[in-house]
Chains A and B, each alone.
Chain A
């Protein structure tokens, strides 16, 4: 441990003539200021996102020929910007598509992820654990477009279509399951961190009272790590809401308000992809509408990450 300090001291003394204190102070000041400046970049990024998204969305609501009001945008149930003579901009079908896909993903990934986390932290031996961790790391590193491909060429034709003829090439179920697979490693590794942070003494205490593993897990460990688990769930769902490439490939392109998982839906992100791929003339009203959708998406995810941070801060159980 002292090797570092000794080497540093040797470095300092071998650098020839010492700098004057004045110059050294100047150098320190410049470095401090530039580090501070670079840190401000991240604050600036948030500010820039808000400014860009809000400014361009305002353009959508106020531009010439726009008949869309904030009210009709957020409560409208028809989204048909590119079809028909009278385009309609009601964002609810897009929000509904996102909610449907995210719910399917959550219903799959949250229980499976939590149970896997319990397995890793409560049951698995050190060796099994390191193997499973590696598997999860690989899953976490797979680019999301690969999951989209998987949904399109495996989940839908080989798992869903044999079950029912209702499933088309594009459907909410296939995309939702793929998004679920994508967020599984996030749920799992963050929940496991939360479970492992619960001190062993709590478990030992419960065992000493005659608890079974089920009692210990369900009544001691999980409640003690609950804030971390909830934060993990929120973070994973936020990722699911913002996921783009999977839904752009596998969910379809028809914006409709439906709860039927075998139908195709369009999510907020998939609509943005459609516009930015050039289906609409730049600077027309359809193009601008993608910014209003982006604003909605940003607001939703912002609230969710904020809630996650709050849950962690407020309800964290601190143990020695």
Chain B
């Protein structure tokens, strides 16, 4: 201690006691806030939960309204987003951890990825609107370039406009940095000795990655992937820029369909002044939280069942 004069013992014990009380108080506050949040949502929303609520479309009357369209929209967007961002995230992580030489370029790319994770998600929405929604104005949206038949679920036309695919691509950009960082951490947990053993047996670099490193890191990677997906399913701001807030009376049919997602529907209902709409907003929040809980328990399950000690 750099203090010259000794501090009286009484004051030191008092400080010690104060810190204990402050820490305990702060922690209690954090737990209390979460409980208040869950209780407030549950009390308001539980009465609106029934099969009708899950299986009907939006309505001007709160009593008749349901969440079928946003629920299906969330599932579509989330699935597509995972299908796009998980492979790209893993590939980037493999390149950075296993291939890239330790150079300034590598640390620049790494810094860039952590910067991307700090960009507000609504800014990604603006990028997505320009890049996917309008193809930077290179293609005219009056005469879109159609690929495939409109009857197929894989129907695509460029520019993508306000459809599901544009939303999913944008959301993929939002969670890509999180995905990459999680996959990198998973790869770092694989001991060097495993790689060396495979290399010593004559395996090429890709064979080592494909048959040794990747299988060993996969459970941890999947946990990270699921947690980034739970971020994706809760995002509203970028999708609001892409698709706006719509009240839809149909479920998505193909990649170009208009869509809405649960968080946007919650936003729409919560923003109205009437009490009834707050109640169904709370109902939709319960469904959303249940989905999240499902995601998290799958992640925990994978962590417990598949992860084996590597050392």
Contact = CB atoms under 8 A, between A and B. Distances in A.
Contacts of B173: 45
Contact of B288 (A24, A34, A143, A291): A143
B289 A142 contact: yes
A143 B116 CA distance: 20
Interface stretch (B92-100, B143-151, B248-256): B92-100
A161 interface: no
A76 interface: no
B120 A150 contact: no
A272 B201 contact: no
Interface of A: 1-2, 4-5, 7-9, 11-12, 24, 27-28, 31-32, 34-36, 38-39, 41-43, 45-46, 48-49, 52-53, 56, 111-113, 115-116, 118-120, 122-124, 132, 135-139, 141-150, 152-154, 181, 184, 188, 209, 211-215, 217-219, 235, 238-239, 241-245, 248-249, 269, 272-273, 276-278, 291, 294, 297-298, 301-302, 304-306, 308-309
Contacts of B266: 143, 145-146, 149
A216 to B, nearest CB: 10
Interface string B101-129: 00000000101111111111111111100
B234 A141 contact: yes
Nearest to B106: A39
Looking at A11, A52, A142, A143, the one whose CB has the most chain B CB atoms below 10 A away is: A143
A308 B115 CA distance: 10
Contacts of B237: 244-245, 269, 273
A249 B271 contact: yes
Contacts of B23: 115-116, 118-119, 122-123
B260 interface: no
A199 to B, nearest CB: 19
A8 B244 CA distance: 50
Contact of A43 (B95, B109, B125, B216): B109
A226 B134 CA distance: 45
B12 interface: yes
A41 B131 CA distance: 13
B274 interface: no
A45 B175 CA distance: 12
Contact of A9 (B201, B216, B285): B201
Majority-rule SS of A interface residues: helix
Which 3 A-B pairs have CB atoms at the shortest separation, nearest pair first?
A: A242-B120, A143-B234, A305-B118
Contacts of A212: 12-13, 15-16
Contact of A294 (B31, B40, B123, B289): B123
B258 interface: no
B99 A36 contact: yes
Nearest to B24: A119
Looking at B12, B44, B206, the one whose CB has the most chain A CB atoms below 10 A away is: B206
A34 B37 CA distance: 46
Contact of A144 (B27, B236, B282): B236
A112 B30 contact: yes
A309 B176 CA distance: 19
Interface string B1-23: 10000000000110110111011
A302 B119 contact: yes
B298 interface: no
B304 interface: no
Given A53-B127, A132-B30, 10 more contacts: A12-B202, A52-B127, A115-B23, A116-B27, A119-B23, A141-B296, A142-B37, A143-B235, A153-B270, A242-B118
Given A5-B212, A143-B234, A217 B19 contact: yes
5 contacts: A32-B205, A132-B30, A143-B233, A145-B263, A145-B267
Looking at B19, B22, B204, the one whose CB has the most chain A CB atoms below 10 A away is: B19
A45 B41 contact: no
Nearest to B94: A35
B189 to A, nearest CB: 13
B68 interface: no
